[in-house]
Amino acid sequence: MITEVVLPGQVEPEGLELRTRPLPEPGPGQALVAVEASGVSFAEQQMRRGKYYDQPPFPFVPGYDLVGRVVSTGPGVDQALRGRRFAALTKIGGWASHTLVDAGDLVEVPEGVDAAEAETVVVNGITAWQMLHRVAKVRPGMTVLVHGANGGVGTTLVQLARHSGIKVIGTASPRHHDAVHALGATPLDYRDPDLPARVRALAPGGVDAVFDHVGGEGIVDSFRLLARGGTLVSYGTAATRDVPGSSRAPVLKLLARLALWNLLPNGRRAHFFNLWAGRRRRAAFQARIRADLGQVLALMAKGEFTALVAARIPLSDAAKAMRLAESGTVAGKVVLVADEDARRSGEEGAR
């Protein structure tokens, strides 16, 4: 049997439901994965409010990414995958003891890398790597501003930037400043009304890139803080998470604003990062994911990247994990880990 967490509708975290169903057989091109870890990201927080831009209709199983071991394979899939640990980007379905994954979406996790630690860099690592190197195209010696430098994507951005020889200014609440500083960034209070002036004091000519997951009216300051030739990378609308109304309106407003800024003759660029862009060219998309996530996992395996696991919480206690992730009190990523009894039951059924 599979144990899975179901989001039945727009509910509080305590409204998440735990259900079981028979273990499915993998179809052509698929692998059945025993999930060891799946993260609680901002996407799930939006989904439970019905605010994620293209979420499926309720009910569904959340879980944007996962790490686990292949227990069985379908026709056309190499049986040598069985027993090996992989990561996968799923968008939904990861909050389960087992799930079916397209074998082409699997990215091997180096031996010796802990499952929960690897999980912290699946969606976060791909997002951070692509924003830094594919969108902003930062270079050694540059200076960047990372908003939310204590969060899952933020801590990953800081470390990858520092590894590339880039100076980082990171915003966070004061209680997280020590953690942000330990990662190599200069911390600033995101609530400080003089934040733009404090950034200018550290980067008088402006910063070379800003990574902004907040959106809202604060995005204006992010754009103004850019040096000539700088790049604003927007990748979320956290400011409107709890605002009633359409999930699409804030995103469309943001896209329109960014498009307008790109018309200005000031040498600055503005982008909205969409992790799923180019997915229609499936083979190329999968190859890009394997390459970029592979880079981050390799750094982790070498000990050059520190995974920040805010908490490891059993799958059956998903409500607690959601509450903690939404509290804003932790640094790093909250990770759901396998309930051992549920995992053993599913593995026995797969034999």
Q: Which domains does the chain have, with CATH numbers?
A: 2-114+307-349 (3.90.180.10), 123-272 (3.40.50.720)
Angular region, 229: left φ>0, alpha ψ -120 to 50, beta rest: left
Strands of the chain, DSSP E: 2-6, 17-21, 30-40, 65-73, 85-89, 98-102, 107-108, 143-146, 167-172, 186-189, 207-212, 226-234, 269-272, 309-314, 333-337
3-class secondary structure, 226:
strand
Q: Is 343's pLDDT higher than 70?
A: no
**Average predicted confidence (pLDDT) for the chain:** 93
326, 24 contact by CB (below 8 A)? no
How many whole angstroms separate alpha carbon 241 and alpha carbon 228?
Answer: 31
Report the residue count for the chain.
Answer: 351
How many whole angstroms separate alpha carbon 179 and alpha carbon 308?
Answer: 10
Q: Is 348's pLDDT higher than 80?
A: no
CA gyration radius, the chain: 20
Q: Is 252's pLDDT higher than 60?
A: yes
Share of the chain above pLDDT 70, in %: 96
Question: Residue 241: what pLDDT?
Answer: 76
Question: Residue 274: what pLDDT?
Answer: 93
Question: What does DSSP assign to residue 7?
Answer: B
Q: Which of 168, 164, 202, 194 is nearest to 182 (CA)?
A: 168
Whole-structure pTM value: 0.90
Q: Which of 225, 230, 239, 234 is nearest to 196 (CA)?
A: 225
Share of the chain above pLDDT 90, in %: 86
The confidence band for 345, taking pLDDT boundaries of 50, 70 and 90, is: very low
How many whole angstroms separate alpha carbon 310 and alpha carbon 108?
Answer: 23
301, 110 contact by CB (below 8 A)? yes
Structure tokens at 301: 């395996």
Q: Is 189's pLDDT higher than 50?
A: yes
Structure tokens at 23: 């273990």
